Chains A and B, each alone.
Chain A
Amino acid sequence: MFRQARWDEPLIFELSRPGRRGFIVPEIDPAIKEAVGDIKIPAKLRREKPPELPEVSEVEVIRHYTRLTQMSYGVDNGPVPLGSCTMKYNPRVAFEIAFDPRITMLHPLQDERTVQGLLEILYHLQEWLKHITGMDYCCLHPAAGAHGELAGMLLTRKYHELRGQLDKKREIIVPDSAHGTNPASASMAGFKVVEVPSDENGNIDLDALRAAVGESTAGLMITNPSTLGLFEENIEEITRIIHSVDGLLYYDGANLNGIMGYTRPGDMGFDIAHINIHKTFSSPHGGGGPGAGPICIKDRVVDPDKNIWLHDLLPGYRVVYDEEKDMYRLEGPSKHSIGLLKTFFGNVIPLVWGYVYILSLGARGLRLATEQAVLNTNYFVELIKDVRGYSIPYGPGRHRKHEVVISAEKMKDETGVTAEDVAKGLLDVGLHAPTIYFPLIVKEALMTEFTESETIENIEEYAKRLKEISQIAYTNPSKAKEWPLSTSVKRIDNVRANHPKTLAPTWRIYLRKMRKADSNV
Chain B
Amino acid sequence: MPNDTTQLDATQTPTADAAIEAPESKDAPDSVGIVTPVSYHFDEPLLLRSGKTLLAYDLMVETYGELNAARSNAILICHALSGDHHAAGYHSATDSKPGWWDSAIGPGKAIDTTKFFVVALNNLGGCAGSTGPTSINPDTGKPYGPDFPVVTVRDWVKSQLQLMDRLAIKKWAAVVGGSLGGMQVQRWAISYPDRVANAVCIASAPKLSAQNIAFNEVARYSITSDPNFHAGRYLEHNTYPKQGLMLARMVGHITYLSDSAMRAKFGNAGSQLENTTRGNLGRDLRSGTLSFGLNVDFEVESYLHYQGERFSSNFDANSYLLMTKALDYFDPSVDYGNDLSKAFAGGDCKFLLVSFSTDWRFPPERSRELVETLLKAGREVTYLEVEADQGHDAFLMPIPRYINAMRGFLDNAYKELVNDAS
Q: Do A and B bind each other?
A: no
Chain B positions near chain A (C-beta within 8 angstroms): none
Chain A positions near chain B (C-beta within 8 angstroms): none
